[in-house]
């Protein structure tokens, strides 16, 4: 790591933004100090990054090609066998499908409810603390608290709050919220919306507050009604935020594990078991860490695809906007 | 008017489950499974809280969670801020390549690394230790990205003045950059703290000894020992949920701004 001596006048340092900094005219010793200092700043993070992200990523790839036990030792090389097995394993496909199904079911209500909440709060302009407290607060609860609360107090038949409320309306639902394969996933989606919609609510609220006021004033002068202002100003101005909310939501929903593990354990009849739970079962209770790694990488591919599709779509929409 | 009614209806819907948990926790144990909608039992009692508290587990897990969350937050904010500063304000060979390596990490969800990470923890002897829980949660590429974007918006003139006065990189970082970025640093800190405090999957995998568990993991672990004692389960949930709700009540503005900031910049 040697610093090259600058010739005067030196070109601006690579990567610097804008005008040349005084460093360009400094003697070599100072420049070398800067070089070292730069690395010193980055080094601690890089150490963590290499040890706990890059290394496990490579280790996982190696493990996925072997039949190691839980400690990652003592296995032999099996090549692509784990991947071949994973692609032919109906449990992989069904748990992948449950993950995608949960994501499809949960994304629209999470985005729309968040939007409606933000519009309500923004429009009302009073009791801001009340909306924030009641809609955002559940997001701050650990998944363990949320999962156990709904499992033990909301969803049990007869004495659960869900049944009691429906009963008091004169309905006898008789729904096996978490025990009937027809409703279990929907119940988990319901819990998830209650738990996490506050995050999207806040993102939308921040975006709403950033819309310039003069747009509305101009529209009002032109005689636009409340509904027209919503359609022609508010919603278009929120398009970018919606893009962010949707992709964050998709990526978060694909990683579903906690609520399902706590509330149904993947049941009934494994009808709600997500892919991460299958990875957990294969690796940590089935002790097949190589196979678990291979399944992880199949799942990783899914996440990368979603991210890339999103990237292409936003790029295209930006290009169109630029036209 | 309609808007207000709709909003209040949503408030009621969102508060009901929490109110029900609190109500149940204050009932005598034998009244928690009544099949009629009763918010208050024949008497209001704190028995469930006393029993949960007396068992001691909950306090232990809370202290574990607090320790793990504080250490993780400090390490995350420190390493991410330093790295972001190094990437956006210093020059060294390989800077761009290393920044690319870190940014590529944004694509990797930590959840897909659970199997190899666990194997790594076994070989490092960190299973059932605080460091086993903490270390893998520290390096967050997205946080570096957020901070780099912020630092790029800070005018260089502010730092240059300090250089002219003879300050070194370190002094400039601590006395100029860090104070300037207090809002974004506190957003990153609050966000990291919430995430670490509530994280379930990783602590759940890396701790098997109840005395090393964090709050969320411990709660789920003992639900079976409480059996059908619903008042006690709900009392433990109320105790477990309270700290962050209190933090939120105090730091509402910062948290709201922080979520908005990190969420939007997360693109």
Dihedral pair phi/psi, residue B188, rounded to 5°: -60, -40
Point out which residues pair with A66 in neighbouring strands. Answer: A77
In 3D space, the residue among B34, B163, B147 whose CA is nearest the CA of residue B88 turns out to be: B147
Distance CA B11, CA B221 (A): 31
Give residue B209's Cα distance to chain centre: 22
The half-sphere exposure of A113 on its side-chain side, counting CA atoms within 13 A, is: 22
Distance CA A119, CA B244 (A): 26
Query: Which pLDDT belongs to residue A74?
Result: 63
H helix runs in chain A, sequence order: 28-49, 55-63, 81-87, 90-124, 128-131, 143-149, 161-168, 184-209, 213-221, 226-229, 235-237, 239-254, 258-263, 275-280, 289-322
Point out which residues pair with A77 in neighbouring strands. Answer: A66
Per-residue pLDDT of chain A (323 residues; tens, 9 = 90+): 334 433 344 344 444 444 444 444 555 555 555 666 788 999 999 999 999 999 999 999 988 998 876 665 667 788 888 899 999 999 999 999 999 999 999 999 999 999 999 999 998 888 888 998 899 989 999 999 999 999 989 998 888 899 889 888 888 777 889 999 999 999 999 999 999 999 999 999 988 988 888 888 888 888 888 888 888 889 888 988 898 899 889 989 999 999 999 999 998 989 999 999 999 999 888 888 889 999 999 999 988 888 888 888 878 777 777 76
Closest chain B residue by Cα to residue A52: B136
Helix or strand run (H / E) with residue B2: helix B2-25
Residue A284 with chain B: CB contacts under 8 Å: 118, 205
State how far residue B70 is from chain A, nearest Cα, in angstroms: 16
Residue A239 with chain B: CB contacts under 8 Å: none
Closest chain A residue by Cα to residue B102: A49
State how far residue A153 is from chain B, nearest Cα, in angstroms: 7
Closest chain A residue by Cα to residue B121: A71
The half-sphere exposure of A245 on its side-chain side, counting CA atoms within 13 A, is: 29
Query: Which pLDDT belongs to residue B76?
Result: 96
Residue A297 with chain B: CB contacts under 8 Å: 112
In 3D space, the residue among A135, A137, A99 whose CA is nearest the CA of residue A115 turns out to be: A135
Contact B83 A299 (CB under 8 A): no
Residue B85 with chain A: CB contacts under 8 Å: 41
Query: Which pLDDT belongs to residue A70?
Result: 64
Give yes or no for residue B225 having a pLDDT over 80.
no
Query: Which pLDDT belongs to residue B16?
Result: 94
State how far residue A144 is from chain B, nearest Cα, in angstroms: 5
Give residue B58's Cα distance to chain centre: 18
Provide the chain B residues 131-190 that lie in CB contact (below 8 A) with chain A: 135-136, 138-139, 141, 144, 152, 156, 160, 163-164, 168-170, 173
- Is B18 in CB contact (< 8 Å) with chain A? yes
Residue A170 with chain B: CB contacts under 8 Å: none
Contact present, A238 and B260 (Cβ < 8 Å)? no
Q: Closest to B37 (Cβ–Cβ): which among A63, A121, A164? A: A164
Query: Which pLDDT belongs to residue A211?
Result: 87
User: Which two tokens mark B229?
Assistant: 């004692």
Helix or strand run (H / E) with residue B4: helix B2-25
User: Which two tokens mark A131?
Assistant: 């909306």
Residue B54 burial (C-beta neighbours within 10 Å; 0-12, 13-18, 19+): exposed
pLDDT tens, position by position, B191-215: 899 899 999 999 999 999 989 999 9
Q: Closest to B115 (Cβ–Cβ): which among A141, A159, A279? A: A279
Distance CA A148, CA A291 (A): 31
ipTM: 0.89
Give yes or no for residue B226 having a pLDDT over 80.
no
Query: Which pLDDT belongs to residue B14?
Result: 95
DSSP letters of A178-229? TTSTTTHHHHHHHHHHHHHHHHHHHHHHHHHHTS-HHHHHHHHHTT--HHHH
Residue A4 with chain B: CB contacts under 8 Å: none
Provide the chain B residues 35-74 that lie in CB contact (below 8 A) with chain A: 35-37
Give residue A172's Cα distance to chain centre: 37
Point out which residues pair with B215 in neighbouring strands. Answer: none
Contact B116 A293 (CB under 8 A): yes
Closest chain B residue by Cα to residue A14: B91
Query: Which pLDDT belongs to residue B31?
Result: 85
Q: Closest to A59 (Cβ–Cβ): which among B120, B197, B233? A: B120
Neighbours of A164 (CB within 10 A): 18
Contact B256 A132 (CB under 8 A): yes
Establish whether the linkage from the previous residue to B196 is cis, with ω within 30° of 0. no
Query: Which pLDDT belongs to residue A278?
Result: 95
Instruction: Please give the interface size between A and B, counted as residue pairs whose CB atoms are below 8 Å apart.
Output: 305
* CA atoms B122, B127, B131, B137: torsion sign: positive
Contact B141 A49 (CB under 8 A): yes
Q: Closest to A45 (Cβ–Cβ): which among B95, B112, B139? A: B139
Best mutation site among A144, A274, A317 for testing chain B: the one with the most B CBs within 10 Å? A144
Residue B248 with chain A: CB contacts under 8 Å: 133, 136-137, 140
Q: Across chain A, which distance is largest between two alpha carbons, in Å?
A: 88
Closest chain A residue by Cα to residue B153: A17
- Coil, strand or helix at A95: helix
Dihedral pair phi/psi, residue A66, rounded to 5°: -135, 180
Best mutation site among A145, A230, A234, A303 for testing chain B: the one with the most B CBs within 10 Å? A145
In 3D space, the residue among B101, B227, B232, B10 whose CA is nearest the CA of residue A48 turns out to be: B101
Question: Rounded to two decimals, what is the model's pTM?
Answer: 0.87
State how far residue B188 is from chain A, nearest Cα, in angstroms: 15
Of A313-322, B66-75, B146-155, minimum mean pLDDT range: A313-322
Contact present, A268 and A180 (Cβ < 8 Å)? yes
Residue B125 burial (C-beta neighbours within 10 Å; 0-12, 13-18, 19+): exposed
Query: Which pLDDT belongs to residue A95?
Result: 95
The residue assigned the tokens 């978490």 is: A178
Domains of chain A: 30-64 (no CATH), 91-144+183-322 (1.10.3720.10)
Contact A22 B163 (CB under 8 A): yes
Q: Closest to B219 (Cβ–Cβ): which among A145, A161, A199? A: A145
In 3D space, the residue among A23, A4, A46, A9 whose CA is nearest the CA of residue B89 turns out to be: A23
Distance CA B144, CA B76 (A): 10
């Amino acid at each position: 790591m040697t610093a090259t001596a600058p010739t005067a006048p030196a070109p601006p340092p690579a990567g610097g933004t804008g005008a040349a900094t005084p460093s360009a005219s400094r003697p070599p010793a100072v420049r070398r100090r800067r070089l070292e200092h730069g690395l010193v700043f980055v080094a601690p993070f890089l150490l963590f990054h290499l040890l706990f992200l890059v290394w496990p990523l490579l280790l996982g790839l190696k493990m996925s090609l072997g039949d190691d036990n839980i400690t990652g030792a003592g296995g032999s090389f099996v090549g692509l066998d784990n991947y071949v097995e994973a692609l032919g394993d109906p449990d992989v496909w069904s748990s992948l499908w449950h993950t995608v199904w949960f994501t499809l079911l949960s994304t629209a209500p999470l985005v729309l409810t968040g939007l409606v909440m933000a519009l309500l709060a923004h429009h009302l302009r009073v009791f801001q603390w009340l909306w924030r407290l009641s809609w955002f607060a559940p997001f701050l609860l650990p998944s363990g608290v949320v999962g156990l609360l709904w499992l033990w107090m909301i969803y049990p038949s007869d004495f659960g709050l869900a049944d009691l409320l429906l009963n008091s309306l004169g309905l006898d639902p008789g729904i096996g919220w978490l025990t009937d394969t027809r409703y279990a996933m929907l119940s988990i989606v319901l819990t998830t919306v209650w738990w996490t919609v506050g995050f999207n609510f806040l993102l939308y609220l921040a975006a709403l507050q950033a819309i310039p006021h003069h747009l509305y004033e101009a529209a009002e002068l032109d005689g636009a009604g409340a509904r027209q202002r919503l359609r022609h100003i508010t919603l278009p101005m929120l398009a970018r935020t919606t893009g962010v909310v949707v992709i964050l939501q998709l990526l978060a929903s694909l990683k579903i594990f906690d609520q399902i593990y706590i509330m149904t354990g993947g049941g009934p009849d494994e009808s709600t078991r997500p892919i991460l739970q299958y990875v957990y079962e294969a690796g940590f209770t089935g002790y097949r860490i190589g196979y678990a790694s291979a399944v992880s990488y199949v799942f990783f591919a899914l996440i990368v695809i979603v991210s890339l599709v999103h990237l292409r779509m936003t790029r295209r929409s930006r290009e169109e906007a630029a036209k | 008017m309609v808007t207000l009614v709709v909003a209040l209806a949503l408030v009621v819907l969102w508060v009901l489950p929490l109110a029900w948990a609190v109500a149940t926790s204050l009932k005598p144990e034998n009244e928690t499974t009544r099949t009629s909608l009763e918010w208050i039992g024949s008497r209001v009692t704190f028995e469930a809280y006393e029993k949960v508290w007396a068992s001691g587990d909950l306090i232990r897990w809370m202290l574990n969670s607090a320790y793990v969350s504080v250490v993780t937050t400090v390490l995350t904010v420190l390493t991410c801020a330093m790295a972001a500063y190094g990437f956006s304000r210093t020059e060294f060979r390989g800077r761009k390549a290393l920044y690319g390596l870190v940014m590529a990490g944004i694509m990797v969800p930590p959840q897909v690394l659970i199997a190899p990470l666990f194997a790594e923890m076994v070989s490092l002897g960190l299973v059932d230790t605080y460091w086993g829980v903490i270390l893998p949660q520290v390096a967050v590429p997205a946080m570096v990205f957020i901070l780099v974007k912020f630092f790029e918006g800070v005018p260089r003139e502010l730092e240059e003045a300090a250089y002219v006065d003879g300050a070194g990189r370190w002094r400039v970082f601590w006395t100029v950059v860090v104070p300037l970025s207090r809002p974004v640093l506190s957003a990153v800190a609050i966000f990291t703290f919430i995430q670490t405090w509530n994280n379930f999957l990783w602590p759940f995998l890396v701790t098997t000894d109840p005395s090393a568990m964090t709050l969320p993991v411990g709660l789920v672990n003992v639900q079976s020992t409480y059996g059908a004692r619903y008042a006690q389960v709900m009392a433990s949930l109320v105790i477990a949920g309270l700290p962050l709700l209190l933090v939120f009540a105090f730091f509402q503005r910062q948290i709201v701004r922080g979520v908005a900031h990190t969420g939007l910049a997360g693109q």
